[in-house]
């Protein structure tokens, strides 16, 4: 069954102290949230320890933003599955466009990371999406289908979340129109042919546009960057109105 998932991607934001401060305000702001809405916080690895303790006993799930496919080794700056297991994380973001753009992530390394995530029992959130230039050239569908085909080789589709994040809508304030996000997510769903996979939208999701996005039949949730840093604003997104 498709689950409703609202995940925050804090990217490179918040110290441990700031993460705990967030949590104090956030937990009361979502106290009345229905359990059918799964809430995830994907925090920087420096805050995984403190957030793992904070989230203990709550329904909010913890997520990481990256993992390496090897168990250990000479990979400066990377983090491995066994290291993340110790924090009790449930999710890991893989293939975010910022990793593809700034850190040389390819469909091949995305694929390695996805399979590693599943080996360690984490549900990967695979990000796909086109740039403005690719959209203008009419390449959106071709690009996304290629990212899915290459990224998902050998990946267990039964334990996976997809996030459609058009690059031109990330951090820009330009949200993809709700009906267009719905259309592209519909394309992704038909390519995957697995009705149970939850597919999220990401890119300038805010308290002001979440109700319209969540009213779309294909959109199962959101991957939220900037607006997930504010406890009240993120709680409003989670408590979207239908």
Active-site residue identified among 38, 96, 130, 218: 96
Residues forming a β-bridge with 201: 164, 222
Report the residue from 224, 235, 237, 238 that binds ligand 13P according to the rule CB under 6 A. Answer: 224
Catalytic residue chosen out of the listed positions 38, 98, 130, 165: 165
First and final C-alpha spacing in the chain? 19
Active site residue 96: yes
> Which residues inside 69-128 make contact with ligand 13P, applying CB under 6 A?
96
Q: Quote the least distance from Cβ 202 to ligand 13P, whole Å.
A: 4
**Helix-helix angle 178-192:140-151, to 10 degrees:** 40
Task: Give the CB-side neighbour count of residue 13, counting CA atoms within 13 A.
Answer: 13
Q: Least distance to ligand 13P from the beta carbon of 204, Å?
A: 4
Choosing from 81, 95, 166, 202, the residue that interacts with ligand 13P (CB under 6 A) is: 202
Q: What are phi and psi of 62, to 5 degrees?
A: -100, 140
State the Cα–Cα distance between residues 205 and 194, nearest whole angstrom.
Answer: 25
Q: Please list, residue by residue across 206-231, b when 16 or more beta carbons sit within 10 angstroms of its beta carbon and e when fewer do.
A: bbebbeebbebebbbbbbbbbbbbbb
Give 28 or 208: the residue with its C-beta nearer to ligand 13P: 208
User: Under rule CB under 6 A, which residues in 4-23 are in contact with ligand 13P?
Assistant: 9
Rounded to a whole number of angstroms, the minimum distance from the CB of residue 54 to ligand 13P is 21
Binding of residue 44 to ligand 13P (CB under 6 A):
no
- Catalytic machinery residues: 96, 165
Could you list the residues that contact ligand 13P (CB under 6 A)?
A: 9, 96, 165, 170-171, 202-205, 223-227
């Amino acid at each position: 069954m498709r689950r409703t998932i609202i995940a925050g991607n804090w990217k490179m934001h918040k110290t441990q102290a700031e993460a705990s401060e967030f949590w104090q305000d956030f937990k009361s702001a979502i106290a009345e949230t229905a359990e059918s809405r799964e809430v995830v916080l994907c925090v920087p690895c420096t805050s995984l320890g403190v957030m793992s303790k904070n989230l203990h006993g709550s329904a909010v799930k913890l997520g990481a933003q990256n993992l390496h496919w090897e168990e250990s080794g000479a990979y400066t700056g990377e983090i491995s599955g066994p290291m993340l297991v110790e924090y009790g994380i449930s999710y890991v973001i893989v293939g975010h466009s910022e990793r593809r753009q700034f850190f040389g992530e390819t469909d091949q390394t995305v694929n390695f990371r996805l399979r590693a995530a599943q080996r360690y029992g984490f549900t990967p959130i695979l990000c796909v999406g086109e740039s403005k230039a690719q959209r203008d050239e009419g390449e959106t569908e071709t690009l996304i289908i290629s990212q899915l085909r290459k990224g998902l080789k050998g990946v267990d589709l039964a334990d996976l979340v997809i996030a459609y994040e058009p690059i031109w809508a990330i951090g820009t304030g330009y949200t993809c129109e709700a009906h267009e996000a719905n259309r592209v997510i519909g394309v992704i769903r038909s390519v995957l042919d697995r009705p149970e996979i939850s597919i999220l939208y990401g890119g300038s999701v805010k308290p002001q546009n979440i109700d319209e996005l969540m009213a779309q039949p294909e959109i199962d949730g959101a991957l939220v960057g900037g607006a997930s840093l504010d406890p009240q604003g993120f709680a409003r997104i989670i408590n979207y109105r239908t």
